[in-house]
A and B are shown apart, each in its own frame.
Chain A
Amino acid sequence: MARITMREAISQALMEEMDRDPAVFILGEEVGVWGGTYAVTKGFYDKYGPERVKDTPIAENAIIGGAIGAAMVGQRPIAELMTINFGFSAMDYIVNQAPKLRYMFGGQFSVPMVIRAVGGGGRQLGATHSQTPDAIFAHFPGLVVVSPGTPADAKGLLKSAIRSNDPVLFLEHATMYQVRGEVPDGEYTIPLGKSTIQRPGKDLTIVTYCKGLELSMKAAEDLAKEGIEAEIVDLRTLRPLDMEPVLESFKKTNRAIVVEEGWKSYGVGAEIVSRIYEQAFDYVDAPILRVAQKEVPLPYNRNLEQAALPQVPDIIAAAKEVLK
């Protein structure tokens, strides 16, 4: 086990898969010579050359459209979006082409493509570059949506995503590249579509993923000092959604909160809560609460930005509320 950063973990996954399979290549803005906006692909250009690490124009629809075409003819492209917010420029390709081609061509084509995209707030990038629109993408059947919360998961899931024959949107958080964690040595993968328990507990269930996991783990430590043992379920993949560990945990604790960074309305929390009510109604002992971003465009001002984003005290407060 080595303790490495999220950046290193993602980088390792990309490199291992490129070494393993010559069909894997990377394209995106500043991924080559510059080494990636978040330095994830630093050194890749020198190692693999311009054929496999392609700098593109600032044209997201071209990046994703090109990746889809390459995938349809047997390549395994990894398209990088500098931020998921730019994905809106390529929305038709992401939600209307990639997820539907296999279905509409009756299985004659598949789209083994990964879109790596950076999302999330907290870096003072302003309202249009700080969003967490995960739920929008997870809405569409056919698109696998992954968003890891630990370096180990990031590496194992990204490797699975690259090997998947269906398009995968891989969402990384802008503030988490420096997060460190234990990563298994050598080759391993983590299956897509599997939620997991990141912290065992008995008093309440916190369902979360990505940045929410980082915040929830801190909140759980504080809660533990007061004798409250929170069990944290990390979704890891938003679609297909694996409710098994969530329901199992909830049937034990009977109380839950959902922590997500995106807006509450029509969000991931809404989906999780609905499914708990649908599938474990008789185990509900208190209304399930959601901790999410305030319903405003995310402010640029640092204090306001932090006030709008969900924080550890919000999670603690919600946890205590559902335990009343």
Chain B
Amino acid sequence: MAETIKMPKLGFDMAEGTLVRWVKNVGETINKGDVLAEIETDKATVEVESHADGVVLQHLVDAGTSVPVNNPIAIVGAEGEKVDSAPAAGGQPAPAAPAAAASSSAPTPAPVTQTAAPAATPAPAETGPVKASPLARKVARDRGVNLGSVVGTGPGGRIVRRDIESALKASPAPAVSPASAPIPVYETRTTQQPGDETIQTTKLRQAIGRRLVESKTTIPHFYVTHEYKMEALMDLRKQINGSLPDNEKISVNDFIVKAVALTLRQFPNLNASLSGTNIIRHGAVNVGVAVTVPGGLMTVVVKDTDQKPLRQISGEVKAMAARARDGKVKPEDVDGSTFSTSNLGMYDVDEFIAIINPPEAAILAISSAREVPVVSGGQVVPGWRMKATISVDHRISDGAEAAQFMQALAKYLEEPIRILV
């Protein structure tokens, strides 16, 4: 039985990928897990693995083609097996798969989604076969409503115009909707001087630009900074690392990631996403860690961070960061974060603030742990201090909650034994 290999979906906002190179040619034997092709998304070059054993019977797209997510790219089957009809290359989404993909990646079928942020929606369902009338699609497009999160009341659940209208009523569109007035992410300014050099931005750079312009212009950020006493954590880390081989040593950040995850358990409102007028509190705590990669940064994600031991978190972050830097990131490495962290501690940074990674509710910016003079018992003594700043979406939470979160985080960072038990 021949199986179809599809363009994988590598992250929330991936709509299509470019098939850069076929690794296995037609007629070549392929085993489950073997690399079939290389794909370039706006974030990285990724290898697509075959999920079937057999022979590559057909390439359905040419190298260099841009293919929508979930569209078939190749057929793998038994040698000599007849392939009855080649699914259309490129254009048509495969019939069943996108629906499944859309529903499985959407944790909650929220009735409405604020469209200002395509990236702020769990499932970019418009790529799948959402049942909607042409008019509903047009109105949704014009008004910037994501069809994926609108409940259809027409026959068979079809979304019709009235559904879009009630969605808009439930969640008034932002003053500037992206469809009618796209935010100019990059503006052309042509005052080039002799000696200037022009660098074409990479796809990753552009993706970062798009997402963060959108975040900074549509999310009302507020910030709370807290200074943490780090002596105990530094001591504990020294003690633990003393017994670990060099390549397994645990970083300060690993402690912080775990501490953040444990704290988020007490603050479900910050482990959340906005969807229309609803707040979706995520069941899992998946902490994202921003990693510097050539030409930009990516956020790798530790799944169920709160439930994993420190050494495992450390190992996973190391492996994912390495893959990210090599441009070989796997879809699951970058998918599904519910809260992000950004750590510039290694660059001797006193303090900084980060931009929220949509659709998350908040991001934590972690600065350097430094030895500074502190006042203790009326005396100035040396101490380890580290500042961290949380940026929070004011539509979801308020200053008091953010401040309490930062305080609760101190319980772990300042009594780090609690992180271990």
Q: A interface vs B, CB < 8 Å?
A: 254, 281-286, 324
Contacts and interface: CB of A to CB of B under 8 A. Distances in A.
B138 interface: yes
B142 to A, nearest CB: 9
Nearest to A281: B134
B154 A282 contact: no
B155 A282 contact: no
B365 interface: no
A285 B136 contact: yes
A144 B137 CA distance: 38
B135 A284 contact: yes
A283 B135 CA distance: 4
B358 to A, nearest CB: 29
B133 interface: yes
A282 B138 contact: yes
A126 B134 CA distance: 43
Contacts of A254: 133, 135, 161
A254 to B, nearest CB: 5
A18 B138 CA distance: 54
Given A284-B133, A285-B133, A286-B133, A324 B154 contact: yes
Given A254-B161, A285-B136, 20 more contacts: A254-B133, A254-B135, A281-B134, A282-B134, A282-B135, A282-B137, A282-B138, A283-B134, A283-B138, A284-B133, A284-B135, A285-B135, A285-B160, A285-B161, A286-B133, A286-B154, A286-B155, A286-B158, A286-B160, A324-B155
Interface string B129-160: 00001111110000000000000001100101
A284 B135 CA distance: 5
Nearest to B153: A324
Nearest to B159: A285
Nearest to B155: A324
Contacts of A281: 134
Going nearest first, the 9 A-B pairs with the smallest beta carbon separation are A282-B138, A285-B135, A284-B134, A285-B133, A285-B161, A281-B134, A285-B160, A254-B135, A324-B155
Q: Is the interface of B mostly helix, strand, loop or mixed?
A: helix
Contacts of B136: 285
A283 B160 CA distance: 11
A69 B160 CA distance: 56
A256 B161 CA distance: 15
Interface range for B = 10 to 19
Nearest to A254: B135
A254 B160 CA distance: 10
A324 B134 CA distance: 15
Contacts of A284: 133-135
Nearest to A322: B155
Contacts of B134: 281-285
B129 to A, nearest CB: 16
Contacts of B158: 286
Contacts of B161: 254, 285
17 contacts: A254-B135, A254-B161, A281-B134, A282-B137, A283-B138, A284-B133, A284-B134, A284-B135, A285-B133, A285-B134, A285-B136, A285-B160, A285-B161, A286-B133, A286-B158, A324-B154, A324-B155
B330 to A, nearest CB: 39
Nearest to A277: B134
Nearest to B133: A285
Contacts of B137: 282
B249 to A, nearest CB: 60
A181 to B, nearest CB: 35
Nearest to B137: A282
Contacts of A282: 134-135, 137-138
B156 to A, nearest CB: 10
A303 to B, nearest CB: 32
Contacts of A283: 134-135, 138
Contacts of B138: 282-283
B138 to A, nearest CB: 4
A286 B158 CA distance: 9
A254 B133 CA distance: 10
Contacts of A285: 133-136, 160-161
A167 B158 CA distance: 47
Contacts of A286: 133, 154-155, 158, 160
A282 B132 CA distance: 11
A254 B155 CA distance: 15
Contacts of B160: 285-286
Nearest to B136: A285
Nearest to B156: A324
A282 B161 CA distance: 11
A165 B400 CA distance: 85
Interface string B173-205: 000000000000000000000000000000000
A284 B154 CA distance: 13
A281 B160 CA distance: 14
A254 B137 CA distance: 13
Interface in B109-142: 133-138
B112 to A, nearest CB: 19
A18 B160 CA distance: 55
A57 B238 CA distance: 117
Interface string B35-78: 00000000000000000000000000000000000000000000
Contacts of B135: 254, 282-285
A285 B133 CA distance: 5
Q: Give the most central of A282, A283, A285, A286: most B CB within 10 Å.
A: A285
A284 B137 CA distance: 10
A144 B134 CA distance: 34
B157 to A, nearest CB: 12
A257 to B, nearest CB: 15
A285 B135 CA distance: 5
A85 B155 CA distance: 41
A282 B138 CA distance: 6
Nearest to A324: B155
A254 B138 CA distance: 12
A281 B158 CA distance: 16
B300 to A, nearest CB: 41
A286 B135 CA distance: 9
A282 B133 CA distance: 8
A281 B154 CA distance: 18
A206 B160 CA distance: 20
